Amino acid sequence: MGYPPARRRSVGRDAPPLCRKEARIVVKTFVNLYDPGKPTFELAPTIDISCHGARVVTKKFWQPNQPLSVRSIRSNLYSSARVVYCHPYTDNSFVIGIEMYHPTGDWTKPSK
């Protein structure tokens, strides 16, 4: 006997669902995170990734809803994005969840 499909709850009629649309897979790669308002970037490793989001370990605190650009190091993938959440990870780092808008290519496939 199978399990019933997960229900999606939303806050309002036009609000996005409160659960993830797609599963993330473990992909350890490095990305550059760019704050559009500053000329600096941070090289950061991913924990897991999907076609439209990722969890990334970072040295700085990022504000939820803060816009950013993300670019993979090993392949020509990039996307504009926003920070969904930022939580303490270890003593000197944070983990951020990012939502990517119109990413180029498939981020879940290993680079060649």
Looking at residue 61, its pLDDT comes to: 94
Q: Is 88 exposed, middle or buried (0-12, 13-18, 19+ CB in 10 A)?
A: exposed
Alpha helices, H only, 2-109? none
Rounded to two decimals, the pTM is 0.74
Looking at residue 22, its pLDDT comes to: 66
What single letter denotes the amino acid at residue 40?
T
Looking at residue 110, its pLDDT comes to: 61
45: number of Cβ within 10 Å: 14
Looking at residue 1, its pLDDT comes to: 41
> In the chain, which residues have pLDDT < 70?
1-23, 110-112
